Amino acid sequence: MERERFEPRIIGFFCNWCSYRAADGAGTARVKYAPNVRVIRLMCSGRVDPSFVLKALASGADGVLIAGCHPGECHYIEQNYKTMRRYAMLTQTLRALGISERRVRLVWASAAEGTQLAAAVDEMVEDLRLLGPLHWSANLREEDHEAAFEHILHEHEQAMEVTR
Partner 1 sequence: MADKGKLAIYWAASCGGCEISILAINEKILDVAAAFDIVFCPCIMDTKARDVEKMPDGTIDVCLFNGGIRTSEQEYMARLLRQKSKVLVAFGSCAQEGCIPGLANVTDRAEIFDAVYCTSASVDNPGRAVPQTETRVNGFLLSLPVFYDTVRTLGQTVPVDYYLPGCPPEAPRIWDAIVAILEGKLPAPGSVIGAQTTVCDECPRQRNEKKVKAFKRTWQIIPDEDTCLLEQGLLCCGPATRAGCDARCPRVNSPCIGCYGPNAGVQDQGARLMTALASVIDSQDPAEIDRIISEGIPDPVGTFYRFSLANSLLRRAAKVPDEQRHELPLPKAAGAQE
- The DSSP code for 22 is H
Q: How far is the CB of 57 from partner 1 (least distance, A)?
A: 7
Q: How far is the CB of 14 from ligand FES (least distance, A)?
A: 9
DSSP letters, 145-156, are: HHHHHHHHHHHH
Question: What mask, x for binding partner 1 by CB under 8 A, covers residues 96 to 135?
Answer: xxxxxxxx-xxxxx------xx-xx--x---x--xxx---
Q: How far is the CB of 152 from ligand FES (least distance, A)?
A: 53
Please state, as a whole number, how many other Cβ atoms lie within 10 Å of the Cβ of residue 44.
Answer: 20
Residue 163 near residue 132 (C-beta atoms within 8 A): no
Q: Taking CB within 5 to 8 Å according to partner kind, which of partner 1, ligand FES, none is near residue 146?
A: none
Q: How far apart are CA 77 and CA 73, in angstroms?
A: 7
Residue 28 near residue 118 (C-beta atoms within 8 A): no
Give how far the C-alpha of residue 58 lies from the chain's centroid of Cα atoms, to the nearest Å: 9
Q: How many residues bind partner 1 (CB under 8 A)?
A: 64
Question: What mask, x for binding partner 1 by CB under 8 A, covers residues 75 to 94?
Answer: ---x--xxxxxxxxxxxxx-
Question: What mask, x for binding ligand FES by CB under 6 A, covers residues 30 to 49?
Answer: --------------xxx---
